[in-house]
């Protein structure tokens, strides 16, 4: 309540606002940012969303997408200026400034009031106002609740609602993860009442594969999926050459790790992607295995208990060897 009052006071007069979210935004990152942006614009604020990198084209349908500033060498100066001049800086769907790359330092040095809205574990202490709820299913869920607490539920129209729905839908794995509470369904009921088109959103996000993406999936499942039965673990490692061969675009590897986890008996899954800068890793688990801890301890990462990510600066094959050699240390949790 204290945080809501502080935010209410802050937003009482029109402000210059910057909203940012994590590297390679997913539907929750972008949906919560654009949903919040839509709301703040309706309240008369000047709003700019800046993403630290590009994002999958299956998110381009979101309202406000055309106005997003994607950070890069060409937009660096503009981004710095916007961040410097912002009176309010919203940080959405990430809990550590390292998750927004170069923007992290700009935001750290910014003079404006920083507001964190997030659901990741172990939030860093850099914000002046914080809405951090690690039990929330999605950042979009918290954004909806913040808008409601500000008394502005009625301002959530179809475009805003569809952005928020996309975030909640994807972060709950289409309403199947344990984070899918009654509250989540109540919010969705409100959004449906407003008239959002859930069929369109599902189609846009899940049924929009390019032909090469689908063939890439086929190849990966046939040739690249490895199962370590002894430790109820499955993983996929994709080389840079394979990404090139299938003309892989941002977002084309999204969801791959879930196939590894969908094998009967598998409790721990990993996806290794050889990006040019480093090896990017996704971890997923079922039950009590904390991939947040695993990613934090061994792969410079973090996230949630059952979904986390990390990064590795050694070659792909060595990264995979390291991963496999760590499994016996977790035998207690992986076996029985």
Would you tell me which residues interact with Mn ion (CB under 5 A)?
A: 28, 93, 139, 171
309 binds ligand 5GP (CB under 6 A): yes
Q: Taking CB under 6 A as the rule, which mask of x and - marks residues 264-283 in contact with ligand 5GP?
A: ------------------x-
Question: What CA–CA distance (Å, rounded) separates 141 from 144?
Answer: 5
CA 107, chain centre distance (Å): 19
Q: Which does 303 bind (CB under 5 to 8 A by kind): Mn ion, ligand 5GP, none?
A: ligand 5GP
Residue nearest to ligand 5GP (CB): 309
User: What's the Rg (C-alpha) of the chain?
Assistant: 20
301 binds ligand 5GP (CB under 6 A): yes
At its nearest, how many Å lie between ligand 5GP and the CB of residue 28?
8
- Stretch of residues binding ligand 5GP (CB under 6 A), selected from 41-49, 197-205, 234-242, 301-309: 301-309
Q: Which is nearer to ligand 5GP, 22 or 267 (CB)?
A: 22
213 binds ligand 5GP (CB under 6 A): no
Question: What CA–CA distance (Å, rounded) separates 103 from 136?
Answer: 25
104 binds ligand 5GP (CB under 6 A): no
310 binds ligand 5GP (CB under 6 A): yes
Instruction: Write the Ramachandran bin of 335: left for phi over 0, alpha for psi from -120 to 50, otherwise beta.
Output: beta
Q: Which is nearer to ligand 5GP, 224 or 304 (CB)?
A: 304
Q: Residues for the chain: how many in total?
A: 336
Token digits of residue 294 = 């695993």
At its nearest, how many Å lie between Mn ion and the CB of residue 119?
6
Sheet (strand 225-228) strand order: 225-228, 233-238, 268-274, 279-285, 307-312, 302-303
- Stretch of residues binding ligand 5GP (CB under 6 A), selected from 103-111, 156-164, 309-317, 327-335: 309-317
Q: Which is nearer to Mn ion, 139 or 233 (CB)?
A: 139
Cβ atoms of 147 and 155 within 8 Å: the answer is yes
240 binds ligand 5GP (CB under 6 A): no
Residue with tokens 């008996």: 265
Cβ atoms of 47 and 88 within 8 Å: the answer is no
118 binds ligand 5GP (CB under 6 A): no
At its nearest, how many Å lie between ligand 5GP and the CB of residue 94?
6
Sequence-ordered alpha helix ranges (H) in 11-95: 27-42, 76-85
Token digits of residue 13 = 């007069």
Cβ atoms of 205 and 58 within 8 Å: the answer is yes
At its nearest, how many Å lie between Mn ion and the CB of residue 164?
12
Q: Which does 310 bind (CB under 5 to 8 A by kind): Mn ion, ligand 5GP, none?
A: ligand 5GP
**What is the signed CA dihedral for 75, 81, 82, 85, rounded to 10 degrees?**
180
167 binds ligand 5GP (CB under 6 A): no
Strands 302-303 and 307-312 turn out to be antiparallel
Applying CB under 6 A, which residues contact ligand 5GP?
22, 96, 99, 120, 282, 301-304, 307-311
């Amino acid at each position: 309540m204290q945080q809501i009052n502080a935010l209410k006071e802050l937003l009482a007069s029109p402000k210059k606002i910057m909203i940012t979210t994590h590297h390679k935004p997913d539907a929750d990152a972008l949906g919560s940012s654009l949903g919040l942006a839509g709301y703040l614009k309706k309240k008369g604020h000047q709003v700019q969303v800046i993403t630290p990198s590009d994002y999958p084209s299956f998110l381009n349908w979101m309202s406000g997408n055309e106005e997003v500033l994607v950070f890069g060498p060409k937009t660096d100066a503009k981004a710095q200026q916007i961040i410097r001049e912002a009176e309010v800086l919203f940080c959405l769907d990430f809990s550590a400034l390292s998750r927004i790359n170069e923007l992290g330092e700009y935001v750290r040095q910014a003079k404006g009031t920083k507001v964190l809205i997030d659901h990741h574990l172990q939030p860093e202490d850099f914000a002046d106002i914080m809405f951090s709820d690690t039990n929330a299913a999605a950042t979009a869920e918290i954004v909806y609740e913040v808008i409601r607490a500000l008394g502005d539920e009625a301002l959530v129209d179809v475009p805003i609602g569809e952005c928020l729905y996309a975030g909640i839908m994807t972060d709950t794995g289409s309403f199947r993860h344990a984070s899918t509470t009654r509250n989540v369904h109540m919010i969705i009921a409100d959004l449906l009442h407003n008239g959002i088109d859930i069929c369109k959103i599902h189609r846009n996000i899940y049924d929009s594969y390019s032909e090469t993406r689908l063939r890439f999936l086929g190849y990966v499942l046939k040739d690249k999926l490895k199962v370590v039965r002894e430790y109820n673990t499955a993983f996929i490692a994709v080389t840079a050459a394979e990404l090139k061969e299938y003309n892989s675009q941002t977002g084309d590897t999204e969801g791959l790790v879930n196939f590894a986890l969908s094998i009967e008996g598998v409790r721990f899954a990993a996806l290794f992607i050889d990006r040019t800068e480093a090896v990017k890793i996704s971890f997923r688990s079922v039950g009590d295995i904390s991939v947040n801890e695993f990613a934090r301890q061994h792969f410079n990462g973090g996230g949630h208990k059952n979904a986390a990510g990390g990064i590795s600066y050694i070659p792909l094959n060595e990264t995979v060897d390291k991963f496999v050699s760590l499994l016996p240390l977790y035998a207690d949790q992986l076996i029985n």
